[in-house]
Amino acid sequence: MAMHRWADRALLFLFDPACVACQAPLTDRRIGPVCGRCWSSIHPSPSTDLVRAVGIYEGALRNIVHALKYGGHASLAKPLGARMRDAAGDWLDDATVVPVPLHPWRSIRRGFNQADLLASALGRPVWRALRRTRLGQPQAGLSAAERFRNIPAGTYVLRRLWGKRVPPSVVLVDDVITTGATAEACTQVLLEAGVERVRVLTVARALRRT
């Protein structure tokens, strides 16, 4: 984590800083790698009883998520976490947050799990309850039906509790929700573990293609 922050800073100093979402020159390096215009261009996402998100997965927000996941800009977890707190409203008052896990190989390759960074930025207790057992195909580019087939039963399992009491209310955290297949698989495991209420908080919500 500390290393990522350092690398993030170094990138800003070594090159002419440009916004990672729109490439416009950054006039103020202190605001981080995304310009103010991009932050304010995010289209809010309508919330449901079970899913809340900062915005729609398009435009600047899509680029920001990519910069977090693939561009090494782990420092973006902090401003995104602040916006997720706003989107979550009262959900976070009493909930424990659970990040959607990556398969360990993918975490090692990427160096971090973006969902874990986001969960840690929410200011609530983090419970790393789940483990991903199967690598699976990356979800991007698959149809809705293929995504559900891509997550066979047993893909997500509960980690050993080591005497930990299962919290009654959990907010599951991920970067993007598309069909909800991943969220549903994780929710099922948490409910079976004895969690009474699971709600889903993400940075972005992809609009379903019909």
Query: What are the residues binding Zn ion (CB under 5 A)?
Result: 19, 21-22, 35, 38
In the bound state with Zn ion, the residue whose beta carbon lies nearer, of 8 and 174, is 8
In the bound state with Zn ion, the residue whose beta carbon lies nearer, of 33 and 99, is 33
Query: 52-85 burial by CB neighbour count: b if 16+ within 10 A, else e?
Result: bbbbbbeebbbbbbebbbebbbbbbbebbbebbb
Distance of CA 55 to the CA centre of its chain: 12
In the bound state with Zn ion, the residue whose beta carbon lies nearer, of 23 and 48, is 23
Shortest distance, position 131 Cβ to Zn ion, whole Å: 36
In the bound state with Zn ion, the residue whose beta carbon lies nearer, of 21 and 172, is 21
Shortest distance, position 40 Cβ to Zn ion, whole Å: 10
Q: 106 φ, ψ to 5°?
A: -70, -40
Structure tokens at 192: 């079976």
Shortest distance, position 75 Cβ to Zn ion, whole Å: 15
Residue 192 burial class via C-beta count within 10 angstroms: exposed 0-12, middle 13-18, buried 19 and up: exposed
Given a contact cutoff of 8 angstroms between Cβ atoms, the answer to whether 15 and 48 are in contact is: no
- The amino acid at residue 160 is R
Shortest distance, position 53 Cβ to Zn ion, whole Å: 20
Shortest distance, position 18 Cβ to Zn ion, whole Å: 8
Task: Return d(Cα 96, Cα 10) in angstroms, integer.
Answer: 34
In the bound state with Zn ion, the residue whose beta carbon lies nearer, of 6 and 70, is 70
Paired residues of 172 in beta bridges:
98, 200
In the bound state with Zn ion, the residue whose beta carbon lies nearer, of 35 and 189, is 35
